[in-house]
Amino acid sequence: MTIIASLLRGAQLPDSPTARLDIELLLAAALGKSRSYLHTWPERIVTSEAAATFSDYLQRRRSGEPVAYILGQQGFWKLDLEVAPHTLIPRPETELLVETALQLLPIDPTRVLDLGTGTGAIALALACERPHWQVTAVDRVEDAVALAERNRQRLHLDNVTVRHSHWFDALAGERYQLIISNPPYIAAADPHLVAGDVRFEPASALVAGADGLDDLRTIIARAPAHLTPGGWLMLEHGYDQAAAVRELMAQHDFEQIESRIDLSGHERITLGRLTC
């Protein structure tokens, strides 16, 4: 007979920096319960089926597979999102984009474009907070488009439209008050690509050329044709890319350019306004 407390004590994830959290999330999922249940009822008996599922989850996590992919879900902002290996796992630092957009733009009807939406995290978070905004979310990966649409439907966010497009390719003539994106921004030779959870994520959502700026260059160059006068462009980028992104924005007639710092103290996002 196995009880919850003994499973928690015996589980080991030596290579995970968040081992205790990982173990609790995996056990709670195997039981179909919340994490608080584990501590409220530590003497509850675990069925052999649930114990076997938990063991399988642990083995997958020991191999490096991210918890989000094992469980098929990840929290972002106030939302629980379905995730899958063909999309980037939403990360807490990306919430800075959402927070900044909500501070910057009025609650009045606003047209917003989320480029490279992946799970739909940014678009859905904005739409949830601003029901009068009309948000278009695009991705070039058809499986990602389908996933974002499933998240949209499950969250009943009718002010979001999910479409298939490689950046602006399918958006000819369309203009927005805000264009927002967390594009690929890792350099092709970055050693982090072969370490940790990132190994399991799609390279197409991470890598952007030799210096990591290829997609940022493309978005910045093409965004003015899709912004209304006074519209904003807001981008997530690497911790050491803010100066380069500010320079690129300045070259393409953006003003009021600034970078903002994430919870780790890194310049994580840069924004600029098209005033001409």
Condensed to tens digits (0 to 9), the pLDDT of residues 91-138 reads 999 999 999 999 999 888 999 999 999 999 999 999 999 999 999 999
Q: Are residues 123 and 161 in the same domain?
A: yes
Q: Are residues 162 and 228 in the same domain?
A: yes
Provide DSSP, 151-184: HHHHHT-TTEEEEE-STTTT-TT--EEEEEE---
Q: Are residues 269 and 150 in the same domain?
A: yes
Tell me, yes or no, whether 180 lies in a domain. yes
Q: Are residues 42 and 163 in the same domain?
A: no
Number of domains in the chain: 2
**Dist CA 203 CA 66 (whole Å):** 15
Tell me, yes or no, whether 70 lies in a domain. no
Q: Are residues 227 and 256 in the same domain?
A: yes
pLDDT level of residue 86 (50, 70, 90 thresholds): confident
Tens of pLDDT, residue by residue over 154-172, are 999 999 999 999 999 999 9
Q: Are residues 58 and 83 in the same domain?
A: no
Tell me, yes or no, whether 73 lies in a domain. no
Which candidate, 57, 56, 31, places its Cα nearest to that of 42? 31
- Residue range of the domain that includes 48: 2-63
Q: Which two tokens stand for residue 207?
A: 């890598």
Tens of pLDDT, residue by residue over 173-209, are 999 999 999 998 776 766 665 556 666 566 666 666 7
Which candidate, 127, 133, 176, 177, places its Cα nearest to that of 152? 127
Q: Are residues 12 and 102 in the same domain?
A: no
Residue 116 C-alpha from the chain's centroid: 10
Tell me, yes or no, whether 225 lies in a domain. yes
Q: Which residues pair with 227 in a beta bridge?
A: 176
Which of 40, 63, 86 corresponds to the end of one domain?
63
User: CA 210, 211, 215 angle in degrees (round to 5)?
Assistant: 95
Q: Are residues 83 and 48 in the same domain?
A: no
